[in-house]
Amino acid sequence: MATKASGVTDYAAAMASGDERASVPEGLTGEGLRIGVVRARWNAGIVDRLAKGVDRGLASLGVTDVVAHSVPGSFEIPLAAKTLAASGTVDAVVCIGAVIRGETTHYELVSGECGRGVQQAQLDTGVPVLFGVLTVENEAQAEARSQGPGGHNVGEEAALGAVEMAKLIRAVTR
């Protein structure tokens, strides 16, 4: 749970400790699922770290069938994700990228439209499309959310969520 420190909620500490993160349902397996991954090439070093998290998360649940595509930047993620989801060839899509605030309003445009587009892709297709795109103030925040094994990695969390949602959709629609 987040705590109050000097009148300011300390969400960063809660996120770093994992207190606010959802747990993986017991017995969840991704065996037999095909998961798509759409990754941005912009901020490649951070996105590579997120991709390693995706790989860890999917492997931990037994997913072996993964199809990956890259796009120039996070703004392009929604179209690729929607196209992949609509293709009927995947059970879920994981989107990873990193939008780091700069000196202009470009950050707001890219991060907002990426989030909106990813949500719209899953609503339009009925295929889970998970948002593993970092929208952060600086590189230090991006690094804190793309850690290695045992640390906080939004890509890994999105991969676990993709499997959970794919299984839910499968159970509800069959």
Catalytic annotation on 152? no
Can you point out the beta strands (E) in 12-128?
34-40, 65-71, 92-100
| CB-count exposure of residue 84 (10 Å: 0-12, 13-18, 19+) | buried
What DSSP line would sit under 18-31, residue for residue? TTTSPPPPTT---T
Choose the catalytic residue: 106, 109, 123, 138. Answer: 106
Of residues 3, 1, 90, 2, the one with CA closest to residue 38: 90
Catalytic residue annotation: 106
